[in-house]
C-alpha cells in the first residue's frame, strides 16, 4: 500500500521553501501565514524531522529540508503538467494557421470540411499570413512560399510552386501557340513581377512584355481570368481546383518552376501538440497525394 505524506503540509512546505517565508507561501496558497506554519509543523511532526530552521526574522532550510524541497518541486511541477494534459483532453483543441489570403481561399478553405472529418476535435482558426507577414509566435503553424529557410523554425516541403498561364475556356480557344500571347492582356500580380518574364523566357518569348491589369493578390488575378478579363499567370496549387472543374484552362503544356516551394512552417516546440500533429499529418498526406 502506498504511504503518502500529509499532502496539504507538503504543498505548504514546498511553497514556503520557494518563497523563503510563510507569508509568501500564504499569498500563493490563499491562506494565512499562521495556517501555513501550522501545516508545515504538522508535516514535520509526521515525518519526525525538522525541515526549517526558524529564527526571529528568518526562515532557513535544514539539510533535510533542502533535500526534500529539491525533489518535491520537480514532482509538483510534473503533477501540474500531467493535470494540464488530462484536463486538455476534455477541451477542444485549437489550431491557428497563418496563411496567405489566396492560399486560404483557393486551396485550404475548400478542404477544411475534409480536415474536420479527419480531426473533429480540432477548432481551426485561419489568420492572414504569407510572405510579407512575420511568423506570429501564437500560430500553431504557417503555410508559406519560400526557399525553405526560416531561422528558428522547422520547414517541411508541401508543394512545388509551378507557373503556367491560365484563362477562361473562351479565351483559350484563340490561343494555339505561346506566341499568340503577344496580343493578349496578361494579368499581373504586383508582388510577383518576375512571374511572367520567367515563363516567357522559358517559352522563348523574351521580347514579349506582360501588359495588362495589375492586381494585389493572385486570387484577384485568377478571378479576373475566370471572368474573361485576360490571361493570368497561375501558380500551383492555387489553380488546380479551377483547372479540374473547367473554370480555367491551361492553353499550353509548358510549366516553369517559380524557384520557390510551399512549406509547412512551425516552431519545433509545437510538434507534439495534438491539434498541430493532426493537421501536420493531414497536410503531408494532401501534399503527397
Closest CA to 141 of 280, 272, 262, 237: 280
Q: From its phi and psi, is residue 288 left (phi > 0), alpha (psi between -120 and 50) or beta?
A: alpha
- Which residues lie below 8 Å from residue 126, measured CB to CB, with a gap of 6+? 97, 99, 104, 108, 109
C-alpha cell at 276: 498541430
- Which residues lie below 8 Å from residue 274, measured CB to CB, with a gap of 6+? 93
Element (H, E) at 171: helix 169-172
Interatomic CA distance for residues 55 and 273, integer angstroms: 47
Start-end of H helices in 4-111: 7-19, 22-29, 33-47, 63-88, 101-103
Interatomic CA distance for residues 74 and 90, integer angstroms: 25
- Contact assessment for residue 249 and residue 172, using Cβ atoms and an 8 Å cutoff: yes
Per-residue pLDDT of the chain (289 residues; tens, 9 = 90+): 677 788 898 899 999 988 888 998 899 999 999 999 999 999 999 999 999 998 777 788 999 989 999 888 888 888 877 776 666 655 668 899 999 889 999 999 999 999 999 898 898 999 876 554 567 878 889 999 999 888 889 999 999 999 999 999 999 998 999 999 988 899 999 989 999 999 999 999 989 888 889 999 899 999 999 999 999 999 999 999 999 999 999 999 999 999 999 999 999 888 888 899 999 999 999 988 5
Bridge partners (DSSP) of residue 233 are 165
| Sheet bearing 141-146, strands edge to edge | 122-128, 93-99, 141-146, 256-266, 154-166, 231-235, 186-189, 214-215
- Contact assessment for residue 175 and residue 167, using Cβ atoms and an 8 Å cutoff: yes
Domain 7-88, CATH class in plain words: mainly alpha
Q: From the options 3.30.750.24, 3.30.2130.10, 3.40.50.1970, 3.40.190.290, give the CATH code of 93-289.
A: 3.40.190.290
Domain ranges of the chain: 7-88, 93-289
Amino acid at each position: 500500500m502506498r504511504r503518502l505524506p500529509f499532502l496539504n503540509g507538503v504543498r505548504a512546505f514546498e511553497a514556503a521553501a520557494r518563497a523563503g517565508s510563510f507569508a509568501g507561501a500564504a499569498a500563493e496558497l490563499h491562506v494565512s501565514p499562521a495556517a501555513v506554519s501550522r501545516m508545515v509543523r504538522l508535516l514535520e511532526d509526521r515525518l519526525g524531522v525538522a525541515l526549517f530552521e526558524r529564527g526571529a526574522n528568518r526562515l532557513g532550510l535544514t539539510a533535510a529540508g533542502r533535500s526534500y524541497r529539491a525533489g518535491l518541486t520537480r514532482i509538483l511541477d510534473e503533477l501540474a503538467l500531467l493535470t494540464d494534459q488530462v484536463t486538455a483532453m476534455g477541451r477542444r483543441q485549437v489550431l491557428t494557421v497563418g496563411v496567405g489570403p489566396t492560399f486560404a481561399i483557393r486551396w485550404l478553405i475548400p478542404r477544411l470540411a475534409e480536415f474536420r472529418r479527419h480531426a473533429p476535435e480540432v477548432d481551426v482558426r485561419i489568420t492572414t499570413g504569407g510572405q510579407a507577414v512575420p511568423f506570429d509566435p501564437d500560430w500553431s503553424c504557417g503555410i508559406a512560399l519560400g526557399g525553405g529557410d526560416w531561422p528558428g523554425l522547422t520547414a517541411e516541403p508541401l508543394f512545388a510552386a509551378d507557373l503556367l498561364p491560365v484563362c477562361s475556356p473562351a479565351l483559350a480557344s484563340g490561343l494555339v501557340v505561346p506566341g499568340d500571347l503577344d496580343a493578349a492582356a496578361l494579368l499581373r500580380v504586383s508582388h510577383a513581377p518576375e512571374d511572367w518574364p520567367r515563363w516567357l523566357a522559358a517559352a522563348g518569348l523574351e521580347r514579349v512584355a506582360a501588359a495588362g491589369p495589375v492586381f494585389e493578390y493572385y486570387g484577384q488575378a485568377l478571378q479576373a481570368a475566370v471572368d474573361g478579363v485576360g490571361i493570368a499567370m497561375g501558380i500551383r496549387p492555387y489553380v488546380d481546383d479551377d483547372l479540374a472543374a473547367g473554370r480555367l484552362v491551361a492553353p499550353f503544356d509548358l510549366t516553369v518552376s517559380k524557384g520557390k516551394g510551399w512549406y509547412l512552417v512551425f516552431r519545433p516546440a509545437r510538434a507534439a501538440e495534438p491539434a498541430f500533429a493532426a493537421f501536420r499529418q493531414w497536410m503531408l498526406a494532401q501534399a503527397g497525394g
